[in-house]
Structure 1
Amino acid sequence: MASNAALPNIWHHRKVADNAAKACWICFKPSSSVLITPDNKDFFYICTGHLKDRGFAIPDADEAAAAAAREKKVELDKEIEAVKKEYDEKMRKRAENRKEKKKKEGKGSKDEEKKEEKKDEDEEKKDEEEKDAKIEALSSKEDVMSDDGPRIFSLQKIFYQQRLDRIRNAEVAKRNRERLKNPTAFPSAPKGDP
């Protein structure tokens, strides 16, 4: 069958602008997700919910693994950001405490002030090292880029056959329209005496 060879069962998921959303092929709700063949011969709008349904389409194995890895990276980035915020909050509080101590103590001995400063610096270094260690531990887990969901699918047999039938019917209809427009396709009227 020439149509099967012409249209492989590989579909790439693409997003269009929300104002360009059209009816989903299955449920007819507005959708901004499109499945398109790599050669751009066929496309259709589909809801993301249908893409998650394994009875409709199966994501490419490599793509599914990559999508899971991207989700992990996003979670990891959130954890790293939380560690950084926690460290910044500690530094801010420590600075406020130092200012309050200086105001309360007024002028104390220089040796005591130096000891306090050294103690504060040591605590800051310890916190900085702790923050770096946490970030390093979290960063060692990551190894992928970010985006959402798999992007390459193959349709189940029934849906794939529906797409092939649709394309075949469109070709037949186009051929029939061209035949009807051609005046030589019809027999000529009889020219004899009545």
Structure 2
Amino acid sequence: MNNYVRRQVAPKDMQPCSICHTPSTTVLYNDALKDVLYTCPIHLQDNPSFVTPVHSEEYAATLATLQRLQQQLKAEASKGSGSWDTWVNRVFAKKGEEDKKEEKTEKKEDESTPATLQEQYSQTLDRLTALQQQTRRYKLSDTMFQHRQQARRQQELAVARRQREEANYSNTAPEDLERNFSFPSVPSGDPK
């Protein structure tokens, strides 16, 4: 019920945004309720008090991969710097020349690992951004959705009341109108 699809309208059909009242061609449309909500594209991003995007499974998988890569990058960065104690322990615990040679080859491999990790991270981030921009389904926040439903009910009640009043007014004889409604009369006394 609370599922809206983002669509674009032609520039000639622009309507004011329901939040900032600037002309917008972006529309959130609910097919079940026949509800149309004009909004700026910027309001659809990072605004949980208005809408939350309904992302695909691919987006969730990409986000999990991005978080994993970010943790690996942090681990690689902390591995190189370390605290004072680890640095002192490395100095005092020197190994033989063979171990040093092995460490040098490991360091060369480690140097390529952060670069590839960073490259994978940036590619995954680009993919995540592309998926974010492709998102078309949104869910209004609970308060916003309730407000939209309440406004819709009030509008329907106003239309029904107006139709009822028009029907009553047009079907009423003039004598009934005079009897039911008190119209002002001309004063009969002398003016002072």
State the TM-score, normalized to the length of structure 1: 0.48
State the TM-score, normalized to the length of structure 2: 0.48
Q: Which structure has the higher relative contact order (CA within 8 Å, separation 6+)?
A: 1
